[in-house]
Structure 1
């Protein structure tokens, strides 16, 4: 779920990667060669076996991820990797159940934040600080922050990026929209102009809910500011006027009926999904992360040079800045007591050579500093520029917050978009769940 993450600089020291909370009292466990792996330990050929759960369900990512597992096995004949590929929502559901059972996969996808904290607090995730100290500095600091708690490292990033609007320049031209909107008022005006010429303004995967959450989250960031987001999370209270106003602005958009026909039943992937709709020029915009161009091309035809990118618009009177960014990256964590070979694989996966392959094959933003010279795509560079100018960074809400709270954000915002919940009801529902945690 790429442009280059920003290099370490004085400007990044002013940023805050919020949604990451501290964890104390967890010591470093020793990784063992076999470690009692839940996936089988050692097979009949004496190879160490471990499972790797990831969410790259679409090509080229799915095949590329599998190829990296094979490459590692070839270089390490005493290792066998059992690759488990799961769709995003199915992965989240299975992981929630596994946390309850006390057993996690050997290597598993993570976005950091509150979800990873819960796994750490349950004693299920390996503290890998000492094991990675000799090479962790090869990775850009911005990419690592979501997985670090009290100076300890619990996962390794493989990409970093930001959510913004991807748009079809040709359809904008058809609607006589001169350029990307910079304010929410201009954005709503652009939606109206697109509808007026028979163009579907926005593609949305209403079935999966998390893409809709992006709108409410960004509006809340623009209105309350990232500091306001953190204060609400700390107080477990989202009923303040800024959050109600975020819902009111989203309702303004939904009332314009800007989404494609059947959007409430649309998935993100698939031939009729959000990515395909955008990739087949069936809509003028989608609000999505840095992986969007690759997925548009995989699910649809792709729109080539007609594709552009712009940041989420500012909101008049809001406390947030236009340079405050919402997004995150992907990483991999190890279960407590996982095999040493699994950590060796993660070192291989974030090496400069592998990063270059991921960038070339899927557009994943390199997290290894030595691979950043391969970034040439203008749209991914635009995401990189956005990250480099970031004044504050808010992690995806369904990962920044505890799982139940994140799910309620997704569910309530989806209900608002569908017209079955009011802006006030959204804030009350999220607050109720937050206070129950």
Structure 2
């Protein structure tokens, strides 16, 4: 999935427990079955997350301690795992039938599978006041049959982050708006001895973004919906998406060793882009923070953003956004204090701290005023979108999503053809 790894840069703004608690008070009273501080005995809330980097690595424990201070009977046990380790752990926990009280989710087909297994709590009623303060698009990945099963804390879209200085060096006057212009920009960057694109090929999901976006631009969202309904990814939209992706890979646009590079690992996609060693990186809203974290450098005003180009003759538009967000769900057996804590975590004061940290996009209504110019472009694209598609590896059932990632990586690595990718994903879909 599009993972929201965050920057390790120091989070300098300390959390003021008094201010946070004051802001949270009205919402705390409305969420949950009662005051969690008045219960008998100690309540331990198991919270499993992927906050292995700053600012959330520091901010989350501070917020948890502030909640504990106001609710002496509650102990919040936070466990953070790296993204891929988290997915593996969740697979084992789902098989056991017992999930942590609070756990991160990207929604879509993965969350739906957990819901169908009876493992996730419906938050529609208990958290209604909190959910009512959130933007409708941020809730979409977590809603099924009119019910909401997660509290979002980040929401955004995938697009190209680019280095303005390197574009200027290559003679590229403006960000490409069409696929033909994009391929031309790749050629110009190569001619200027600039690596056109940074890619974390080892993690696979960053490459999936290209196939998914190209399918959307060729066939539009109706083509994606039809493929999901029919379990057939051998349609013209997906075959052409693979062919266009092969056009790109034939140009050898990625940094040396990209197939063994992770997204946020040393020397990986984020570090390459952050260090000014590549012209572009197709990534979500968290990219600037991770690029700075991984490289130790800040591109500052040299960093820009543009939406994925349209494909000539395609049915999709530049206003159809591919992306997703992050949310926290509760296990079916989670105590009422867990819902109460999520309300506290996402009050206005804490939302402001998340957004101004530079690593999160707003989910509360009206909170986008805290964004820097580039992330404001992402927010504007999301708010002005005419259609939205969740990450393929989360929108589809887990086995299908994994096959999408594996097959796309094989295509990018020159080991599979566009036709083979379509066949492999279709086979995985029909076997569900």
TM-score (norm 1): 0.89
Contact in 1 for aligned 2:408/2:421 (Cα 8 Å): yes
Deviation at 1:32, TM superposition (A): 9.8
Quote the residue 1:47 is aligned against: 42
Quote the residue 1:313 is aligned against: 309
**Which stretch has the larger CA shift, 415-424 or 366-375?**
366-375
CA distance in 2, matches of 1:257, 1:404: 29
Structure number with greater CO (CA < 8 Å, separation at least 6) is 1
Contact in 1 for aligned 2:198/2:280 (Cα 8 Å): yes
CA distance in 2, matches of 1:71, 1:371: 22
Quote the residue 2:79 is aligned against: 84
Secondary structure of 2:161's aligned partner? strand
- How many equivalent residue pairs? 400
Quote the residue 2:268 is aligned against: 273
Deviation at 1:268, TM superposition (A): 0.9
Tell me the alpha carbon deviations over residues 55-93 of structure 1, each in whole angstroms, 9 at most, x when there is no partner. 122222322222222222222222111111111122112
Counterparts of 1:89-168 in structure 2, within 5 Å, are 89-168=84-163
CA distance in 2, matches of 1:184, 1:248: 12
CA distance in 1, matches of 2:317, 2:53: 35
Quote the residue 1:5 is aligned against: none
Secondary structure of 1:330's aligned partner? strand
Q: Is 1:185 equivalent to 2:180 in the alignment?
A: yes
Contact in 1 for aligned 2:368/2:376 (Cα 8 Å): no
Unaligned runs of 5+ in 1: 3-29, 35-41
CA distance in 2, matches of 1:341, 1:275: 37
Counterparts of 1:20-419 in structure 2, within 5 Å, are 46-300=41-295, 301-375=297-371, 377-419=372-414
Contact in 2 for aligned 1:48/1:78 (Cα 8 Å): yes
Unaligned runs of 5+ in 2: 6-31
Contact in 1 for aligned 2:259/2:413 (Cα 8 Å): yes
Quote the residue 2:23 is aligned against: none
Tell me the alpha carbon deviations over residues 228-255 of structure 1, each in whole angstroms, 9 at most, x when there is no partner. 1011001111011221110011011111
CA distance in 2, matches of 1:323, 1:83: 38
Contact in 2 for aligned 1:218/1:312 (Cα 8 Å): yes
CA distance in 2, matches of 1:373, 1:77: 35
RMSD over aligned Cα atoms: 1.8
Deviation at 1:31, TM superposition (A): 7.3
Secondary structure of 2:201's aligned partner? coil
CA distance in 1, matches of 2:61, 2:138: 23
